[in-house]
Amino acid sequence: MAARFISHDNLELLLERLRMYGNLHGPVRGDDGVVRFTALSPGTPPDLSAVRSLLPPKKYLLHPRETILTYTADAGYQLPSEENSPLILFGLHPCDLAGIQYLDRLFLGDDPDLLYTARRAALTLIGISCTPDDFCSCHRFATPLEAVSDLFLASVDGGYVVTSSSPRGYELLKGVQELLEEREIESPEDSRRFFGQAVSGPAFSELDATLPEWQELANHCLGCGACSLCCPTCACFDVLECGGLDGDSAVRVRRWDNCLFKSHAQVAGGMNFRKDRAERFRYRYRHKYRGFGPLRGFPACVGCGRCRVACPAGLDLRPLAERLEGAHHEQ
């Protein structure tokens, strides 16, 4: 097929050109060996061999802790306003793109979140194909989410096939066309192919609370919450009302929360409707592999493998998922 091709040699020039369109960020390996999405300033190349960053790109859309409302006696309640300069995320793997699509469904739906909407509008997504490692499960559990991006670079011999999937991507492509060649190339292996399958009815059913696996997982879990912090689709937050000492001002803050924390399901009066860790595991499992609420049928696991890498207890939900979801798929 005829395709637009960019050679590895031209990649640095591509990054240089992209910086003209906004702040350019991508995966960079620090001196500590940790891969983070951060600024790709000149002289800071992206680490395109890294399978995953420690934190997913959700940190750009949902800040770990942020003010969502302010109050003063004079001005009353005010929504925060922030300047969002154009931001280009380069080097997103299909799982992270699918993770952003999941967050879009949560935060751009019928009642859109204003902060998320503004940040998302400023974001350009440039995906790149990758090779899964043993921690990944993108190729084992289907999700109906797709790896949607503005531009996508699919790895082929000597470089990448570049495709645009949005008007913004098309404009970018036009702006860098002298770096591209028209080439006859066999269809590149498309790592986005893992996505796009719907979950059928039986998968919506409740999970058997008597399965011994919930307690076995709970017995080993330390309750540290690392698995949720690093998950591209975990978006639970807590809301705090923080009054000022002057008695005339206050801020409403939201901060990342975690369904494996005991406090997650605690409500006023001390009532906790998921007080056992085993119940919390079942809840997490249900969210990740079956979806719930308005996103029923949208398993939230995009298979990035971060939770398995991050878990200090080495816990892995895949064997259970293979058994339960495999059984469902056979029905």
Residue number with CB closer to ligand SF4 (112 or 144): 144
159 three-state secondary structure: strand
Coil vs helix vs strand at 238: strand
Binding mask 196-235 for ligand SF4 (x = CB under 6 A): -------------------------xxxxxxx--xxxx--
Closer residue to ligand SF4 in complex, CB, 3/218: 218
- According to CB under 6 A, which one of 100, 307, 320, 321 is a site residue for ligand SF4? 307
Q: Of the two residues 122 and 315, which places its CB atom closer to ligand SF4 in the complex?
A: 315
Residue 217 buriedness (CB in 10 A; 0-12 / 13-18 / 19+): buried
Closest CA to 179 of 2, 3, 5: 5
For the bound state, the minimum distance from the C-beta of residue 227 to ligand SF4, rounded and expressed in Å, comes to 3
Q: Is 265 in the site for ligand SF4 (CB under 6 A)?
A: no
Residue 24 CB, shortest distance to ligand SF4, in Å, is 25
Tell me which H or E stretch contains 280: helix 277-289
Q: Within 13 Å, how many C-alpha atoms sit on residue 11's CB side?
A: 19
Sign of CA dihedral 228, 232, 234, 238: positive
The percent of the chain in helix, strand and coil, each rounded to the nearest 5, is 35, 25, 45
Contact with ligand SF4 (CB under 6 A) among 301, 320, 321, 324:
301
Among 303, 320, 321, 324, binds ligand SF4 (CB under 6 A): 303
DSSP 191: G
- Please select the residue that binds ligand SF4; options are 13, 69, 253, 313, rule is CB under 6 A: 313
Letters for 134-163 (x = contact with ligand SF4 by CB under 6 A, - = none) are ---x--------------------------
